[in-house]
Structure formats: C-alpha cells, structure tokens
Chain A
C-alpha cells in the first residue's frame, strides 16, 4: 500500500481539513449563480427600499438627514448580522440536505474544524451579500458606510462574532432535532431584533426590557453606531461591552454545539439527519 495520507495530527493537517470544507462550500457557490445572486439580492433590495423611505422623511422632518444616515447604516449592519448567521447555519444545513454529515464525521474532520470552516464561509457569504448593497448606497443616496472608518471594522467584527455565536446555537438545535427545526435558521434573528436597538435607541424600550437589550452585544454595537453618526464619538465602553458579551455568547454557543454533538453521537443522530 502506498503512503498517501498524513497522520492527521498537527496544525497543518487541521488547516488542510478546514480548507477542504471551505472549498466544498466555495464549489457550491461557484456552481450555482442563483445562490450568489440571492446572497446579494435581499441586502440590495433592503437598502433600495430603506433608502427611498429615508429620502422621503429627509424632506419632511427637520434633523432627519442624520437619522436617514443612521437608518441606512443600521440596515447594512443588521444585514451583516443576519447574513452572517444565515451563512453559517445554511452551510451546515447543506450537509444535512445532501446527507453528507455522517460522511464528514467519519473522516478525520474534528467538530471544531467544522465550526472554523463554517465561520470562514459565513464571512465570505456575508461579504458577497452586503458589499454590493453598501456600494449601491453611495451613488443612490450619497451615503457611504465606509466613512465610518475604523469604527466600522469594530462593528463588523463584533456583529460577525455574534452571528457565529447564534449560528452555533442554531446548528446545535439542528443536530438535536434534525431538519424539522430548519425554520429556526431564519427565525432566530427576528427573536433578538426588537431588543437589539437596530433602528431605535435602547431608551425607547420599556424599562423592564432594557436590561435584556444590554445583555446582548448587538445593542452595544448599534448604540455605538449612533454615537459615531450623531455625536461623532467612538464609545470604547460600548465596544468593550460588545466584545465581552460576544466572548461569553461564542463560548456558550461552542459549548452547546459540542454538547449537542456528543448527544447526537449517543442517540445515533449523525447518521439519521432527516426530519
């Protein structure tokens, strides 16, 4: 027998396996232009729609120019969060739809390597989806989210990490419940949307709901965005809050995913990933 395979241990072998799985999702995207189009379609439609709405209010209400900018920035940042989570969870769903999950887990691929590959493809899918919308807003509404500068990078990173934390929890649910729970992939973001202070400040929420909002990294990010746009201030306290909460939720998501993975191995769910 010729020696064609490595021992499978070590960072180089792990990187190769992560790359292999990322490649699998890239092949899928490359081979399906409707998938790529769909990634960019919804964020672009959102920005066109909200752009015209904000343009309308700009002419009607005093002080609405800043608000219009905040609204468009919120739409784009919300899409980063939404697309990030979808990119993560749908890539996992692709394995269930194609009955490939069992094949992957009898290969040397470790669960944490799959998590890493899903985060990479989530990032790629988010950029494909949100970048065209962000670029579209520049000629259409004279609004460039890139003018936020470095704070935009901080917001982007934090929202991506939040989306991965949620993606971990959603995929953990899919592992436990199967395809019967696939609608959770689309629903979960709308569960936290009302308390994420996307389009309005946390102070708008009833007193009893405000602690819930502050317990989410998203509220810190969107309040931070408004501070930059309205006051020209980058609030490091909000950034620190978002980062700490993200650390907590990502660790929680990873723990739940690993717990579900073990439970799936106990119950025989990895080779029965249907409904």
Chain B
C-alpha cells in the first residue's frame, strides 16, 4: 500500500532562514505518526505545506497519492486538520459552525453526521451554545469535531491537547484511538506531550532546525538513545546531544 504522505527533499525558506531544510519522510496508511521538535523546529511549517496553506521553496509533496502542489483540491476533502492556533467563528453556535464546515466538505447527511459527532465527542449539550462561551476543553472537542466532520482518511493535528487538563486530554486521546481503530484513518500529529506520543503513535519523526534528525517507533528511539522515556530522548535531541550519549543503546538511525 502506498504511503498517505510522501515528502521528498522538502525545503521552505523565508529569506535566508530555512524553516524546513531538505526533509524526506513518508507516513504509512493507517499509522499514527508524530512530528516532534522544539519550538521553531519546522513542524508547523511542514504541516502548513501538507495542507496547502504554504508553498514550499522546493521539493515534492504527495498526499493520498496526489501532488499537493498541483492538485490539492483533489485531496483536501479527504483530509482535515485541527490546531489550537486556529479558531472558529466565535458568535456562531457549535451546530452552526459544524454545519457550515459539513457543507464546505460536501457531507451528505449533515444532521446525521452532526448527531454522531455530538454523541461521540460529548457535545450534545453544547450544540446550541455560541463557540465563544465554551471552556478551553469544550472548544478543543468542537475543533476535533470540525476536523472529523468529513470522516477524514488523513488527519493532521497540531498539538491537539495543548492547554487541556489531564482528564480532557486523556479523553481526546481515547477518542482519537477509537477513530483510528474504527476507520483505519492515518494521523500525523505534532505534539509537545511525549506521554501522548508514546501512547498514540507508531512512528516518530524528530525535527531540529528544519531537519529530521531521527526517526523510528517510540520504543526504538528510547532504546537507541539509552533513555527511559521519550521525553528524555526529546530533550537530548532538542539540546543537540547525540544518540547513545547515555550509554544504554547504540543503534543506528533509520
């Protein structure tokens, strides 16, 4: 089966600064892949390019088998996205917001889909409330509902549980796990929560200064860096320490 994301030699420069610097990676169908790195590592830029919001300086981007730079409208309806850096119209109710996006994505049975989402994401009592009146956790659930409105085959999530309390964050992770198990969808996730990545992800791409510095499963990376948790691996990479610096593992990067 061909990968759902296939990026080759992708570079994005802003003037003299290379936000993304010649990266290659693939995301396999049905997998949950994490894009990790410190602030400014290039994660959000990579996701923006994958969504067609940003044009790369060079390189190729194939999503769901299509060239995103030439035919993005063939695939945008099959993918979706959520980020705490975007919002929904504040004065519209949750139902109105989701209904607008359902129409934008060409959803057939809008009422049915909204009922399913309201039930699955515990939004039943919030549907008639304005978006602006919701708590951070409730807003995140609505944003996830918006990202699920078209039952995407590929879901891009930028810090889906940022600023949530542990209970709400755990709830969202559980929902994502169920969605993936039920639909076989692929997920690319940018996160700073390493426990989340260990729980959800099959594969991890580590970014630093616009480059992919390492990759593998969470367990492979932990062993390779001779650490006990992915958080420790993250700190090693973010601080520029090489793999194996702490003695346990000496495996080569993939």
Chain B residues, CB < 8 A from A109 = 104
Do the beta carbons of A106 and B53 come within 8 Å of each other?
Answer: yes
B183 an interface residue at 8 Å Cβ cutoff? yes
Question: Mask for B37-64, Cβ within 8 A of A = 1, else 0?
Answer: 0000000110010011111000000000
Please, which residue of chain B has its CB at the minimum distance from the CB of A262? B55
Binds A, one of B21-29, B73-81, B164-172: B73-81
Chain B residues, CB < 8 A from A94 = 89
Question: Mask for B104-143, Cβ within 8 A of A = 1, else 0?
Answer: 1111110001000000000000000010000000000000
Do the beta carbons of B106 and A5 come within 8 Å of each other?
Answer: yes
Do the beta carbons of B106 and A108 come within 8 Å of each other?
Answer: yes
Most chain B CB atoms below 10 A, which of A17, A31, A107: A107
Do the beta carbons of B89 and A24 come within 8 Å of each other?
Answer: yes
Binds A, one of B95-103, B194-202, B211-219: B95-103
A56 an interface residue at 8 Å Cβ cutoff? no
Q: Of A1, A4, A13, A28, which contacts B109 at CB under 8 A? A: A4
Do the beta carbons of B53 and A270 come within 8 Å of each other?
Answer: yes
- A230 CB to nearest chain B CB (Å): 46
Binds B, one of A62-70, A97-105, A134-142: A97-105
Do the beta carbons of A271 and B85 come within 8 Å of each other?
Answer: yes
B11 an interface residue at 8 Å Cβ cutoff? no
Known: A24-B100, A99-B86. A5 touches B91 (CB 8 A): no
In the complex, A182→B181 CA distance in Å?
46
Report A2-33 residues with CB < 8 Å from chain B CB: 2-9, 13, 16-17, 19-21, 23-24, 27-28, 31-32
A268 an interface residue at 8 Å Cβ cutoff? yes
Do the beta carbons of B86 and A17 come within 8 Å of each other?
Answer: no
Do the beta carbons of B88 and A103 come within 8 Å of each other?
Answer: yes
Do the beta carbons of B183 and A1 come within 8 Å of each other?
Answer: yes
Do the beta carbons of A107 and B101 come within 8 Å of each other?
Answer: yes
Chain B residues, CB < 8 A from A55 = none
A183 an interface residue at 8 Å Cβ cutoff? no
Q: Of A6, A13, A16, A28, which contacts B89 at CB under 8 A? A: A28
Binds A, one of B146-154, B229-237, B245-253: B146-154
Chain A residues, CB < 8 A from B157 = none
Do the beta carbons of B100 and A265 come within 8 Å of each other?
Answer: no
Q: Of B54, B90, B91, B93, which contacts A270 at CB under 8 A? A: B54
Interface residue total, chain B, C-beta cutoff 8 A: 46
Most chain B CB atoms below 10 A, which of A1, A28, A31, A271: A271
B67 an interface residue at 8 Å Cβ cutoff? no
> How many A residues touch the partner, as a band?
35 or more
Please, which residue of chain A has its CB at the minimum distance from the CB of B108? A4
Question: Mask for A203-220, Cβ within 8 A of B = 1, else 0?
Answer: 000000000000000000
Do the beta carbons of A100 and B54 come within 8 Å of each other?
Answer: no
Do the beta carbons of A102 and B76 come within 8 Å of each other?
Answer: no
Known: A8-B73, A266-B55. A98 touches B14 (CB 8 A): no
Do the beta carbons of A28 and B92 come within 8 Å of each other?
Answer: yes
B65 an interface residue at 8 Å Cβ cutoff? no
In the complex, A32→B132 CA distance in Å?
14
Chain A residues, CB < 8 A from B93 = 27, 31
Chain A residues, CB < 8 A from B185 = 1
Known: A2-B151, A6-B106. A271 touches B100 (CB 8 A): no
B242 an interface residue at 8 Å Cβ cutoff? no
B87 an interface residue at 8 Å Cβ cutoff? yes
- A246 CB to nearest chain B CB (Å): 29
B184 an interface residue at 8 Å Cβ cutoff? yes
Most chain B CB atoms below 10 A, which of A8, A99, A103, A105: A103
- A268 CB to nearest chain B CB (Å): 5
- B87 CB to nearest chain A CB (Å): 4
Do the beta carbons of A98 and B88 come within 8 Å of each other?
Answer: yes
Do the beta carbons of A99 and B108 come within 8 Å of each other?
Answer: no
Chain A residues, CB < 8 A from B86 = 99-100, 102-103, 271
Please, which residue of chain A has its CB at the minimum distance from the CB of B103? A20
Give the interface of B toward A (CB within 8 A).
14, 44-45, 48, 51-55, 73-74, 76-78, 80-81, 83, 85-93, 96, 99-101, 103-109, 113, 130, 146, 150-151, 153, 183-185
A sample of 7 inter-chain contacts (CB < 8 A) reads A5-B106, A7-B77, A8-B76, A20-B103, A23-B99, A99-B86, A106-B51
Give the interface of A toward B (CB within 8 A).
1-9, 13, 16-17, 19-21, 23-24, 27-28, 31-32, 94, 98-100, 102-110, 262, 265-268, 270-271
Q: What 20 new A-B contacts, CB under 8 Å, besides A9-B73, A108-B76, A270-B53?
A: A4-B107, A4-B108, A5-B107, A5-B150, A7-B106, A8-B74, A8-B77, A21-B100, A24-B89, A27-B93, A27-B96, A31-B93, A99-B86, A100-B88, A103-B86, A106-B81, A107-B101, A107-B104, A268-B54, A271-B48
